[in-house]
Amino acid sequence: MSRTHTEIRAVKQVKLSRQEVFAKLGSPDAYLPALHIACYRVNTISQRDLILLLLVIPLGIENRGSPAEFDLALIEFDETDHVKHYEFMRQASGQSYDYVAKAWLASRAKPIGKH
């Protein structure tokens, strides 16, 4: 898994087509045509600390993951087959791509302030 977070972020910035994304990143680990989502495993999460910085001011530290989890990039395409949205999620060992993608879509569909 030689894909990096930077490569995934670059596809959104220029609104690439699905074919351009596949050419740039390679074939996805899974493509879910009913959801228009490509899934790319980025790397294994190995008990790392993520320090969030804004203008060199630490905002927080997040201890993420376990050896049985993966960073998963989900890239959603619009009706014209261009990148609409992407996000990095954690995929636990044994979770299907479909499950993670549907959970991601459901979390984005919730109105702000509603539980």
40 in Cβ contact with 3 (< 8 Å): yes
Domain contains 101: no
Domain contains 110: no
**What's this model's pTM, rounded to 2 decimal places?**
0.68
Once rounded to an integer, what is the mean pLDDT over residues 75-90?
A: 92
Q: Which pLDDT score, from 0 to 100, does residue 22 have?
A: 93
Q: Which pLDDT score, from 0 to 100, does residue 57 have?
A: 40
pLDDT band for 99, please (50, 70, 90 cuts): very high
Domains of the chain: total: 1
Q: Which residue has the tokens 């959970």?
A: 103
Closest C-alpha among 109, 44, 113, 33 to residue 76? 33
Once rounded to an integer, what is the mean pLDDT over residues 44-62?
A: 43
88 in Cβ contact with 41 (< 8 Å): no
Domain contains 36: yes
Q: Return d(Cα 74, Cα 100) in angstroms, integer.
A: 9
The yes-or-no verdict on residue 37 having pLDDT over 90 is yes
Domain contains 79: yes
Domain interval for residue 64? 5-95
In b/e form, how buried is each residue of 25-51, taking b as 16+ CB within 10 angstroms?
A: beebbbbbeebbbbbbbbeebeeeeee
In the chain, alpha helices (H): 5-13, 18-25, 97-109
Q: Which pLDDT score, from 0 to 100, does residue 4 have?
A: 77
Assigned token pair, 63:
């201890």
pLDDT band for 3, please (50, 70, 90 cuts): confident
Q: Is 59 helix (H, G, I), strand (E, B) or coil?
A: strand
pLDDT band for 80, please (50, 70, 90 cuts): very high
Once rounded to an integer, what is the mean pLDDT over residues 76-88?
A: 92
The yes-or-no verdict on residue 78 having pLDDT over 70 is yes
